[in-house]
Amino acid sequence: MTRKIGIIGDGHVGATVANYIVVNGLVDDLVMIDKNEAKVNADAIDFREGMPNLPFHTNITVNDYDALKDADIVISALGKIKLSNNDSDNRFAELSFNIDQVKEVAPKIRDSGFNGILIAITNPVDVITQLYQQITGLPKKHVIGTGTLLDSARMKQAVGEKLGIDSRSVTGYNLGEHGNSQFTAWSTVRALDQPITELAKSRNLDLDALDQAARYGGFTVMQGKGYTSYGIASAAVRLAKTVLSDARTVLPVSNYRSDYGVYFSYPVVVGRDGIIEDVPLGLTDEEKNKLQASADFIKKNIEKYGEK
């Protein structure tokens, strides 16, 4: 038995995900797929040439959808990042383009016989994750978006930096859309073994400013280099490792919320069978209203940017 992952899309993010996987020896077999055959073949050669100096070997297959049949995980990293590099940091700007891309690749994934876990990075990730599920016909619990796993990390980094502690010592979640309508659920955040709401009083923390740092961190990176890569790739690889090892870890990922009829981020237990269990949160009334508003925002923009 082998561990096998397929990556659809070999742009900045897809290539970074592939690099993490190869350098860390996470799988035995890696399938890389991209329309730009010269680029994806060049990356495959580059990885193979690096292997003599690595402690791991990875078999690499290029542009073969049939090879996805026995994959444990397929990661969608396709997209057109230039569309998201806009003044309003609007991830829905990619939707029209990416809908067409997903409609092209999702049937190929389905027809390959793939029956593993599909992880979507492609923006706007909540809508795209739902579209992948509908086209592939995979169980909803087997189609997951990276969602606010990255945004929650940005929040932890901002809080940790403000408190002078490692970001991994901060716990809590950003919820809702991976986009402008997301929010930090401060009722879930703890640091220094205290609720952040109490620390805010004793340390004079501006929670609104910290929420903005998490919300627009990606925009800062985008403005600086024209794309994001390391942070989102780390989130995707963490999610993939959680699935591969059946770690049953609580993660704020984009999953189908039947009570809202849409995909968005809310913490769930993730393992080899995808979404294992829901994690109820004791949100405040204000946070519940924000969550509803985020769900409504996703639906509204599906109608605005997507097919009617």
Of 243, 23, 16, whose CA–CA distance to 119 is shortest?
A: 243
Cα three-residue angle 149-155-161, rounded to 5 degrees: 135
The two counts, helices (H) then strands (E), for the chain are 10, 12
Of 199, 200, 192, whose CA–CA distance to 171 is shortest?
A: 192
Radius of gyration of the chain measured on its C-alpha atoms: 19
Binding-site annotation: residue ranges: 9-14, 34, 98, 121-123
Distance CA 193, CA 210 (A): 19
CA separation (Å) from 286 to 187, 206, 208, 281, 292?
A: 10, 18, 14, 13, 10
Binding-site annotation: residue ranges for NAD(+): 9-14, 34, 98, 121-123
Q: What is the DSSP letter of 182?
A: -
Q: Identify residue 185 by its one-letter amino acid code.
A: A
Which tokens in the block code for residue 142?
Answer: 């087997």
Given the residues 4, 178, 238, 257, select the one marked as catalytic: 178
Distance of alpha carbon 226 from its chain centroid, rounded? Answer: 19
End-to-end CA distance of the chain: 44
Told to judge if 178 belongs to the known catalytic residues of this protein, a careful annotator would answer yes
Of 13, 127, 134, whose CA–CA distance to 79 is shortest?
A: 13
Give the number of residues written for the chain. 308
φ, ψ dihedrals at 291, nearest 5°: -65, -45
Is 72:142 a contact under the CB 8 Å cutoff? Answer: no
Is 98:307 a contact under the CB 8 Å cutoff? Answer: no
Q: Annotated catalytic sites, by residue?
A: 178
